Structure formats: structure tokens, C-alpha cells
Structure 1
Amino acid sequence: MRILVFGDIHGSLPTARRIVELAVQHRPNQIVLLGDILYHGPRNPIPQGYDPQACVRELTPLAERIIAVRGNCDSEVDMNLLPFPMADSFTWLFAEGLRIFATHGHTYSPQNLPPLAVGDIFLSGHTHVPTANIHKGIVLCNPGTLTNPKQDHPACYGLFDGGCFAVITQSDEVYLRLEGL
């Protein structure tokens, strides 16, 4: 099963368009959006091409494959615009023997994990910083963001495929890779 993962779109139309392009390129079974979909929030700069309504129109054709969780910048009004449901703070995904706990990252985080078993995957966004590592048997994955990357990381997204999580740059280069999941 192939799962594309995106964090923190923040209403950027170029990012929404890139998500559609990547969905065509990778042909995923599911697309996971890790919150902060339409609004940039008061602490972030206004993203290039900020257009939340156009983002909704771009993402609508993918709605049947999208699994989304709510971020700290997602309001109820935003959620009413989306053509797909958004889980309040987390959701579970089960794929090819993997248990994936997907959340935005502002409530649960690598520093405040929910009860997870060894081998479970904790998938989050929020920080705009990509990660792919294992801590105390828990797999920690963050796709970074295509919109406003931080700490000098490139614009990135995530891909689960064949027991591997890869963080891939905007220019389609593998930035981080974790195998054997």
C-alpha cells in the first residue's frame, strides 16, 4: 500500500497543486494530511500563493483518498469548507501490518507520545521539520512541509511504500529514508 503524507499546507495554492501532481505521479492508495490545511496561523508568514478557497478546489478531486487530522491552525469554519472529514486530533491507520498513529503534533508529539507499542509509527507534522528515526522502539516520522520549511530543511513530503518511509524533497530527491518498517 502506498501512502502519501503532507504536513502544514497553510492555504498555499502552489502546495495544493503540487499535492495533486504528486498524487498523479505516485498513485497512492491514501493521502494523509497532517493538519494546518487552510490557514497560516498568526506566527507563520503568509505562504506564497495563499488562497484557501482555491486549495479546497484543488484538493476536492482527491477527497475520496484523503485522511486528515486537525491542526492547531484549523478552525471549525475551515473544516466546513473541506470536501473530506477531518479527525479532531488524531486517527489510526492500519496498512500492511503497520499501526500508524497520525496526528498534527501540537498535542501529541515526540516529546509527549500517546501509549504506543514497540514497532508502532508516530506520524506528525506541526514543526515543519522532517524526521525519520526510531526512539525506544517507536518509529517517529514527520514529512516536513512543502509550504514553509524550517531550520534550513528543504520543502518535503512523505511516502510510505513497501515497508519504507521516505521524506522526499520538492525536486523528488530522497532526503531521509527509514526501511524495514
Structure 2
Amino acid sequence: MKLMFISDVHGSAYYMEKSLNKFEKEKCDYLISLGDLLYHGPRNDLPIDYAPKNVAAMLNKYKDKIISVRGNCDSEVDQMMLEFPILSDYTHLFIDGHRFFLTHGHHYHKDALPPLSKNDVLVYGHYHVPLAQKEGDIFILNPSSVSLPKAGTNSFGIYEDHIFTIKTFEDEIVASIDLRGEDES
């Protein structure tokens, strides 16, 4: 199973298209959205090619391949535009013996952990900063923002065969971590 993780698109049709092109190129099985898909939010500048209606139309073509959680900028109005659910504050995935706790990051994050067990994986966005680390006996991951990064460059995450890699759209590796606890970099 190969998964692509994106967060904080904030209505950028430009970066949504780049993300979906990477999804296809990487031959991912599912696209995981960590929230803030359509609206840019009052604290953010408008991203490149701000076009929430276009972003919704692009995403709806992949509705059977998307797992999403609600970001702090996502609302019931956004849900009316999308043909897949986005209003859950968190969800769990069980893959390769790992439990992934997926959330946006405005409630649960590295400094406010949800209830997790040994070797669980917390994945969130919201902060627009890439992160891949093992903290105690859990893994904490943030692929950053595809459209409005606050540190580094626009990036996304790929999970395959126990490895979570944060990459740029130019295929540069920002960070990578083995969720079996081996070969962290």
C-alpha cells in the first residue's frame, strides 16, 4: 500500500494540480488530506492560483481515493463542495502493523498528544513545517503545506513499506523515517 499525504492546500489550484500529478506519478493507492483544502484562512496570504471551486472539482475526481480530516479552515460549506467526507477531526488507519492517528494539528500535535500506544504514528499538518521524528516510543510526522510552507519548501509525504518520506515537488527528500525504528535520517 502506497499513500500520499498532503496538508494545507488552502485553495491553491496550482499546488492541487501539482499534488495530483505527483499522486499519479508516484502510483499511490490513496491520497490522505490532513485538512485545510479550500479556504486560505484569515491569517494566510492568498496562495498561488487561489481557486477553491477548481480545487474542489479536481479533488472530486479522486473521491474514491481520498481519506480526509477536517482542518481549522474547513467548514460545512466546504463539505457541500466536496463529494467525500472532510468533517472528522481525526481518523485512524491501520497499515503494515502501524496505527496512524490522522488529524489536522490544531487540537492534537507534538506538544498535545492524543492517546497513543507504543509505535503509533501521529500525522498532522497545520503548522506548515515538515517533521519526521521518533519521540519516546511514538512517531510524529508532518508533511508540511503543499501551498504555503512556513519553513523550507512546499512538500508532501509518501508512505510505503514502513518508510515515511517528506518530499518536495522537485523530488528532493526533506526527511525520511523508518517506522520500524531503523535507519532514521
Structure-1-length-normalised TM-score? 0.97
* Structure 2 alignment gaps of length 5 or more: 181-185
Q: What letter matches 1:111 in structure 2?
A: D
2:79–2:87 Cα contact (<8 Å) kept: no
- Structure 1 outlier segments of 4+, above 3 Å: none
1:43 aligns with 2:43: yes
* Structure 1 alignment gaps of length 5 or more: none
Taking every aligned residue pair, what percent have the same amino acid on both sides? Answer: 37
Match of 1:106 in 2: 106
1:56 aligns with 2:56: yes
What does the per-residue CA deviation read over 1:78-132, in whole Å, with 9 as the maximum and x for residues that have no partner?
Answer: 1111111114210001111110000000011111111100100000000000000
Structure-2-length-normalised TM-score? 0.95
Aligned length: 180
Match of 2:118 in 1: 118
**CA displacement at 1:160 relative to structure 2:** 0.5
Query: Distance between the aligned counterparts of 1:147 and 1:54, measured in 2?
Result: 15
Match of 1:9 in 2: 9
Please give the residue correspondences for 1:1-181 in structure 2 after superposition, counting only pairs within 5 Å. Answer: 1-151=1-151, 153-181=152-180
Query: Distance between the aligned counterparts of 1:180 and 1:97, measured in 2?
Result: 10
RMSD between superposed Cα atoms in Å: 0.9
2:122–2:140 Cα contact (<8 Å) kept: yes
Query: Distance between the aligned counterparts of 2:97 and 2:46, measured in 1?
Result: 39
Q: What letter matches 1:137 in structure 2?
A: D
Query: Distance between the aligned counterparts of 2:148 and 2:91, measured in 1?
Result: 24
